[in-house]
Structure 1
Amino acid sequence: MPGAFAFTLTGRDGQARTGCLQTPHGLVETPAFMPVGTRGAVRGVTQRTLEEAGAAIVLANTYHLYLRPGDDLIAERGGLHRFIGWPGPILTDSGGYQIFSLGPLVKITEEGARFQSHLDGSRHALTPEKVVDIQAQLGPDIAMVLDECLAAPASEAASAASLDLTLRWARRARDRFLQLQAGPVAGVTVTNPGQAQFGIVQGGIYPHLREKSAAALREIGFESYAIGGLSVGESVETMYEVVGDTTPFLPDDRPRYLMGTGMPDDLVECVARGIDMFDCVLPTRNARNGQVFTPDGPINLRNARFARDDRPIDEQCPCDTCRRHSRAYLRHLFHNKEMNAGTLASVHNLVFYLDTLRRIRQAIGFGLFAQFRQDFHRRFSRTSPSS
């Protein structure tokens, strides 16, 4: 459905915004959090549970799906939505961060990235054009371009060189994307004609490089733009500063996506700086290790102090885990390595994140976001609360 992507701003409160993102597979109210289903599944959580938790859009990863089961196989099945049984919108990351994390197994050149698979050691090459082709076959509603992601700290010279490479890749990716939209290309099955493509702003911690990146990407012309290259080792304060410096350079009438961030208080602070879309593995990854989030901060259910605690994780939480189960029972499950321990904790954490974004949208709508932000920080602490 060409032309199915659109974004409408519905409210403002300071720099915080609410909006409605239209995609070929439905609407997303923003600010929005995207649960991460890297390999086409949010670990331990069914698609039905995701819908019941309030997820409107999910994220999957191009790199992992390309390696297994393969984009050709998924295209044969009718695309990623049909393959995984998810009816709503999907965004796929390009795999740039995953390639970056391979370390010595990857070699970056002008052409693209050559790497060894972390699964079996087989050799592969991903170019900006190849990543576009893979995502055309997967068929997400939003596809990210291939970018280079540097670890922090990175010098200004290294950040500038990496940015220039990323911008050249972005131009090539956009050209290939428009070529696929114009008509059939041999060897590529387009499973979602209404797909949108986002550019990724890079530039490290340097405001003038971020400005250069945003200006160049806007000149190329994408459906929208993301802020990448953060949550890679820099301090939280630096991350906030970079986000605050970068959002003014992005179009006001397009959704702004902050990639891979973060803790619940990060969401609040980055909404305050004009961000509309988030993703992060923390809710489910931490849940599998026993950490769950509460309005006062995270707690670890494995701790002995919860052995006789009959309270739910959060007495105000609407999730099924909190309605049915005590902290004592959940601790028992974790200590006995029961499979559903991680599932029940993941359900709670996802609801906590999604409900936090719902309350943020509501606060912005009523012009009360500043009060919400103040109240949130008054309670929430990154260190474990005593209760």
Structure 2
Amino acid sequence: MEFVVRAWSAHARLGSLHLGATGPQLETPCLLLLTRKGLPAFIPPDLFHKLHPDALALQVSPLHFLDSPPPEVVAEVGGLHKMLCLPEHGLVAVGRDSIMDEADGEGTTKLGASFKTSFGRRIVGPVKYMEVINACKPNLWASLPDEVPAWVSEKRNRVSVGRTLQWLDHCLSLSTDMGCLGVVVGGSSVEQRTHSAQQTATRNVAGFSLGGFGLGEAAEDRGPLLEAVTASLPMEKPRHVSGLGMPEEVLQAVAAGVDLFDSTYPHMLTMGGYAMTFPATMEDILESFANKNLAVEEWSKSDSDSTKICLRSVSFRLDESPLVDGCQCYTCRKHSRAYIHHLLNTHEMLAQTLLDIHNMYHYLGFFQAIREAIRANEFPVFHNQFISHRRQSTLLLSSQ
């Protein structure tokens, strides 16, 4: 693995990440596509390969390969790349620790992290975790984390940091020469997060995964936490974050110097019958301001807003326009809003397939716009325009 920072715009950075001899070369900041057992939930392989030029990296959960299929089967096949027939794609394995309160006040047990799986709740320690990682052979993998929500005590934060570092050392001792992302934790404590980052940076890791975000912290508190972590990490290694998937959250993390993201946001919109429509570039934002009155009138009729439209709404039953005018995704080039509305109402899974194609394509385009803004040294302007547009759109909707 090789990572190089190509350009800066304030603290946001444009990078190039090469995932090994046979892996892809990614421009960062970039999005790791969410998967279920290694593949997107609704997009078939023949369409996935044509989804978007940037659809080169996938986030996989090691927890999906604890039981069915078990790691022994994955290892016998030769790893996930071979099993999924994705030899040229990058796979990043990330296992998030679910929140679990226990009577001793220390959350997860000392033996391992508690995860909710399809076979019930499981305690997974470093040995079992690395058995799955070594079988899957991902390009990058995050070490086993002890993540805690924002509201836990300082004592619990210290336990989380110590335990995660101990598990990191154990995971590294069991790894088979693959790129490890050392997880940085510490909850809502700047002191503990700084300590975790500094100690993790002393280990032989390929990069860092910022854990414990998106677990109840306030948006205004998240910025200082992100900045404290990134300021304590070496600049020459990539940084990944889980739990920050909304556009505003992504921009906040990019502004702090984060490079890799995995997000449930596109998938959750698809499940709700929504299509992304928010302006992703500075030019689109300015154009949307010029047409704001027409846009608000459309939103008010269809249970939609400035970021998405609800295709379940009856207002789209005769709408022959694409989801987003000018969008070059397969869905917008081939199908109309009325057709997807019909598919949703008849409970056809093709509706989710077409929506997922559009939502992933649109969000990958958003990350492309972020990179272009950094390359032009205009990221702070892009960030401010995007947030300003969202706020003004909210105000317009509330005034209707």
Mapped to 2, the partners of 1:124 and 1:365 lie a distance apart of 44
Pair 1:212 & 2:209 matched: no
Cα deviation for residue 118 of structure 1 reads 4.2
Aligned counterpart, 2:150? 152
Match of 1:170 in 2: 168
The 1-side partners of 2:395 and 2:33 are apart by: 23
The reply to whether residue 305 of structure 1 matches residue 315 of structure 2 is: yes
- For 1:9, give the aligned amino acid: V
> In 2, are the aligned partners of 1:38 and 1:59 still within 8 Å (CA)?
no
Residue 36 (structure 1) aligns with: 34
Q: 1:39 to 1:383 in 2, by over 3 A?
A: farther
The corresponding residue for 1:119 is 118
* Mapping for residues 1-387 of structure 1, pairs under 5 Å: 5-24=1-20, 25-52=23-50, 53=52, 54-86=54-86, 87-93=88-94, 95-97=95-97, 100-101=98-99, 108-113=108-113, 118-121=117-120, 125-177=123-175, 180-181=176-177, 195-295=178-278, 296-380=306-390
Measure the CA separation in 2 of the matches of 1:199 and 1:119: 26
Q: In the comparison of the two structures, how many residue pairs are matched? A: 362
Distance in 1 between residues matched to 2:83 and 2:395, nearest whole Å: 40
Percent of pairs with identical residues: 28
Distance 1:335 1:368, change over 3 A: same
Residue deviations 1:136-175 (CA, integer Å, cap 9, x gap): 1101000111111223322222222222111111121122
> Conserved in 1, the CA contact under 8 Å of 2:99 and 2:147?
no
| Displacement after TM superposition at 1:49 (Å) | 3.0
Say whether the 8 Å CA contact 1:288–1:341 is kept in structure 2: no
The structure-2 alpha-carbon separation of the partners of 1:120 and 1:127, relative to structure 1 and needing over 3 Å to count, comes to closer
Partner Cα separation in structure 2 for residue 108 and residue 298 of structure 1: 38
C-alpha distance 228-332 of structure 1, shift in aligned 2 (>3 A) = same
Q: Is the 2:113–2:146 Cα contact (8 Å) retained in structure 1?
A: no
Query: Structure 1 length as normaliser, TM-score?
Result: 0.87
Output the CA distance in 1 between the equivalents of 2:200 and 2:39.
31
How far, CA to CA, are the matches of 2:368 and 2:124 in structure 1?
37
* C-alpha distance 132-120 of structure 1, shift in aligned 2 (>3 A): closer
- Structure 2 segments unaligned to the other structure (5+ residues): 279-305
Residue 375 of structure 1, CA deviation: 2.9
- The CA RMSD measured in Å over matched residues stands at 2.4
Deviation at 1:305? 2.7
Contact (CA 8 Å) 2:113, 2:145: kept in 1 or not? no
Task: Output the CA distance in 1 between the equivalents of 2:164 and 2:333.
Answer: 47
Query: Is 1:224–1:256's contact at 8 Å kept on the other side of the alignment?
Result: yes
Contact 2:145 2:167 in 1 (8 A): yes
**Whole-Å Cα distance in 2 between the matches of residues 347 and 368 of structure 1?**
29
Q: Secondary structure at the match of 1:197?
A: strand
CA separation of 1:326/1:103 partners in 2, compared to 1, >3 Å: closer, same or farther? farther
Bigger CA drift: 320-329 or 226-235?
A: 320-329
Shift of 1:369: 1.7
Q: 1:380 and 1:293, CA in 2 relative to 1: closer, same or farther beyond 3 A?
A: farther
Task: Check whether the contact 1:289–1:342 (CA below 8 A) recurs between aligned residues.
Answer: no
Provide TM-score, normalisation by structure 2: 0.84
Counterpart of 1:191?
none
Q: 1:265 touches 1:380 (CA, 8 Å); kept in 2?
A: no
With over 3 angstroms needed to count, the CA separation of the structure-2 counterparts of 1:223 and 1:236, relative to structure 1, is same
- Structure 1 residue 385: Cα displacement: 8.5
CA deviation vs aligned residue, 1:168-201 (integer Å, no higher than 9, x gap): 1112112222xx34xxxxxxxxxxxxx2011011
Between the aligned partners of 2:388 and 2:333, the Cα distance in structure 1 is 26
How many Å apart are 1:327 and its aligned residue? Answer: 2.0
CA distance in 1: counterparts of 2:210 and 2:138, whole angstroms: 19
Given that residues 298 and 384 in structure 1 are in contact (C-alpha distance below 8 angstroms), is that contact kept between their aligned partners in structure 2?
A: no
Paired with 1:244 and 1:81, the residues of 2 have a C-alpha distance of 35
Q: Which moved more, 1:354-363 or 1:145-154?
A: 145-154
User: 1:186 maps to which residue?
Assistant: none
SS at match of 1:108: coil
Q: Which residue identity is paired with 1:206?
A: S
Q: 1:285-332, CA deviations, whole angstroms, 9 ceiling, x for partnerless residues?
A: 321221221123122221233233333221132211112222222222
8 Å CA contact 2:38, 2:58 repeated in 1: no
AA partner of residue 91 (structure 2): I
